[in-house]
Amino acid sequence: MKLHNIQFKLNGEKVSLTVEPSDVLLDVLRGKLGIKSPKVGCDRGDCGTCTVLMNGKTIRSCLALAVEADGSEIVTLEGANTRKWTQRLQKKFHEKNAFQCGFCAPGIILSATELLEKDPRPTKHDIKEAIAGNLCRCTGYEPIVEAIEEAAREK
Ligand code: FES
Ligand code: FES
């Protein structure tokens, strides 16, 4: 099998590695690069726990091939300090105790980051839509939506 050399920016740092054409981005992040915040949930695009930002847009890393990351900029929760909104959201969720088990947290925070980077004054409806693809089994979503609203209000 032909191996590929890929390079991308991961949380602000350049990384360079060799992957197989069929390697999945989620597995490479977790297994080869030690990035554990994107979680393995459904592994088929349904739950959003594997969400990362690629060039500022959320993607399901369980559905992306590692070769697709070549030349891109990837941000995970480990790189929260590289994004203003990610940092604020993380702080707000913590202050409000908005998560319980926290399994959904990295994906929800990155989906909310994408939203607030596009629209820093979202409505409740916008917020619910933005996180609609991120399943949370614990909270019923209300505290999550409130935390995102409050993070957006804080200037
Ligand atoms: S693990 Fe990727 S969407 Fe569920
Ligand atoms: S806090 Fe447990 S899945 Fe969301």
Rounded to two decimals, the pTM is: 0.96
Please report the DSSP string for 39-99 in residue order: --SSSSSSS-TTEEEETTEEEETTTSBGGGGTT-EEE-GGGGGGSHHHHHHHHHHHHTT--
Is residue 140 within 6 Å of ligand 2 at its C-beta? no
| Domain coordinates in residue numbering, the chain | 4-78, 79-153
Residue 155 has pLDDT above 80, yes or no: no
Is the Cβ atom of 42 under 6 angstroms away from ligand 2? Answer: no
Q: What average pLDDT score do residues 87-97 get?
A: 96
- pLDDT of 117 reads 97
Question: Could you tell which of 25, 36, 50 is best to mutate to test the pocket of ligand 1, judged by most ligand atoms within 8 Å of the CB?
Answer: 50
What topology is assigned to 4-78 in CATH?
A: Ubiquitin-like (UB roll) (3.10.20)
Q: How would CATH label the architecture of 79-153?
A: Orthogonal Bundle (1.10)
Distance from Cα 85 to the centre of ligand 1, integer Å: 23
